[in-house]
Amino acid sequence: MAKAVVALCSAILLLGAGFHLYWGFGGRLGAGVALPQREDGTPAIKETAVGAMAVGLILVLVLLLVLGFAGVVRLPVPQQLLNACIVVWTFIFMARALSWSRYFGLFKQVRATRFARYDTWFYSPSCLLLGWAFSISLCHRRRIEPSATIRQR
C-alpha cells in the first residue's frame, strides 16, 4: 500500500474506532447521529454500549490488519491470510456504502433524518473510500509480488 493510502485508511479507521469506543464508555458527543433513524427521528435500532464497543474493537482490528498488510507492523499471521482478510473487508465496506438498505448506504430510502444526512456525506463515503483503497492496494500488491519473488530466487 502506498504510504498516503495507508495513512488515509488508518485515519478513517482510527476516527471511527475512537468514536465507537467513546460511545461505548458512555460518551454523548455525536451520539444523536450515530444510529439510523426512522422518518420520525426515533432510532431504528437500539443503542447499546456493548454494540458500540464491539464495533470500535472490530475497527481497531481492521486497522491492525491494514497496518500488517502494508508492512507497517509485523503480525504473526501469514501474508495470504492478511490478503484474504483485506478482500473480505473490501466487500464489507463496499456493501455498507452501496447498500440498498432502508436506513443506510448511498441508496437508502429514508433520507430526511439527521443520521441520513451524516450517512450521505460522511459514513457511506468513508466506507466507499476504504473499500476502494483496499481493492486498489490488493491490485497493486498482486502486480508487484510476482516480480519480487522472481528476484529472490
The pTM is what? 0.88
What length is written for the chain? 153
Cell numbers of 109, please? 430510502
Q: How far apart are CA 84 and CA 6, in angstroms?
A: 17
Q: What is the mean pLDDT of residues 5-25?
A: 96
Q: What is the mean pLDDT of residues 104-114?
A: 94
Give the model's pLDDT for residue 91. 97
Q: 126: closest CA among 30, 36, 1, 14?
A: 14
